[in-house]
């Protein structure tokens, strides 16, 4: 069994719950509340700002030039292809790029990105790949499944662009490269190293579910403390 198959088996119950989540279903059948989508899109934009750093750190920690090249490609495509989708949706909502970038991260968003970045700063290139794989592969699986089970979702006047982006060949090719990378990384590794990668993959899979759930329910800081002390992003 390839290592990616083992990982996929491990998280299948969590990933199936993502497919069944009302946010994801609503994206597919067009019933998703626009306010929930706007909240998600803003949070996701600042999530992606941190996510791009995973690839920058991956490129820095790569052990060969081909891997560095792929991680820099992942960085570039996230900044330009994926985040363009968010900028276009923001424009439709009348939100400027500056406003989008200054979105205050929710507790779930901070927990997720800080966990990933901790793995990236302290870990190996294989650990970075294990952390980002549920993001890249999971979104591709969602996009592809929506497009396959409900082809009309691709044509939806509002959510169609989202489904098109995440079911696209461009997005799928990047996810597939990461799957191949983790397969090669798993070859010949002792069980204790594989278990570490598996735990990271499991944790970010759980965070992926929580992100959908946060967006659907609008989970944020309590209003009475969010209103005070806003500062420009301090990193």
CA dihedral in degrees (53, 55, 58, 62; nearest 10)? Answer: -140
Distant-in-sequence, close-in-space partners of 105: CB < 8 Å, separation ≥ 6: 43, 46, 47, 113
> In the set 44, 50, 127, 198, which binds ligand NSP (CB under 6 A)?
44
Which residue lies nearer to ligand NSP by CB, 145 or 189? 145
CA distance 42 to 90: 8
φ, ψ for residue 93, nearest 5 deg: -90, 0
CA dihedral in degrees (123, 131, 168, 45; nearest 10)? Answer: -90
Residues 98-117 that bind ligand NSP (CB under 6 A): none
Q: Which of 82, 126, 135, 198 is catalytic?
A: 135
User: Is 139 a residue that touches ligand NSP (CB under 6 A)?
Assistant: yes
Q: Is 157 a catalytic residue?
A: no
Q: Give min distance, CB of 186 to ligand NSP, in A.
A: 22
Q: What is the CA radius of gyration of the chain?
A: 17
Q: Is 99 a catalytic residue?
A: no
Residue keyed to tokens 């005070």: 228
**What is the distance in angstroms between the CA of the first residue and the CA of the last residue of the chain?**
41
Which residue lies nearer to ligand NSP by CB, 111 or 154? 111
User: Is 47 a residue that touches ligand NSP (CB under 6 A)?
Assistant: yes
User: Is 23 a residue that touches ligand NSP (CB under 6 A)?
Assistant: no
Q: Give min distance, CB of 183 to ligand NSP, in A.
A: 20
> In the set 11, 57, 116, 135, which binds ligand NSP (CB under 6 A)?
135
Q: Give min distance, CB of 193 to ligand NSP, in A.
A: 25
Residues 206-225 that bind ligand NSP (CB under 6 A): 208, 211
Give the binding-site size for ligand NSP (rule: CB under 6 A): 9
Nearest to 23 by CA among 223, 210, 220, 221: 210
Structure tokens at 185: 């990384």
Q: Quick check: helix, strand or coil at residue 107?
A: helix
Q: Which of 82, 126, 127, 208 is catalytic?
A: 208
Q: Give min distance, CB of 146 to ligand NSP, in A.
A: 14
CA 40 to chain centre: 12
- Catalytic amino acids? 135, 208
**Residues lying near ligand NSP in the complex (CB under 6 A):** 44, 47-48, 82, 135-136, 139, 208, 211
């Amino acid at each position: 069994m390839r290592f990616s198959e083992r990982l996929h088996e491990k998280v299948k119950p969590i990933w199936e719950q993502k497919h069944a989540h009302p946010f994801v279903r609503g994206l597919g059948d067009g019933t998703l509340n626009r306010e929930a989508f706007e909240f998600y899109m803003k949070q996701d934009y600042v999530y992606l700002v941190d996510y791009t750093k995973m690839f920058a750190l991956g490129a820095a920690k790569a052990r060969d030039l081909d891997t560095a090249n792929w991680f820099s490609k992942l960085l570039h495509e996230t900044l330009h292809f994926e985040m363009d989708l968010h900028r276009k949706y923001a424009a439709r909502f009348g939100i400027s790029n500056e406003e989008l970038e200054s979105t205050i991260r929710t507790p779930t968003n901070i927990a997720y990105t800080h966990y990933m970045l901790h793995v990236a700063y302290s870990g190996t290139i294989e650990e970075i790949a294990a952390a980002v794989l549920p993001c890249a592969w999971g979104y591709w699986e969602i996009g592809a499944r929506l497009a396959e089970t409900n082809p009309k979702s691709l044509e939806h006047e509002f959510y169609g662009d989202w489904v098109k982006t995440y079911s696209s060949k461009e997005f799928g090719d990047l996810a597939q490269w990461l799957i191949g990378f983790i397969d090669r990384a798993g070859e010949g590794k002792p069980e204790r190293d594989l278990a570490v990668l598996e735990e990271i993959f499991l944790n970010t899979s759980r965070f992926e579910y929580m992100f959908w759930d946060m967006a659907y329910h609008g989970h944020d800081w309590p209003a009475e403390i969010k209103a005070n002390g806003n500062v420009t992003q301090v990193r």
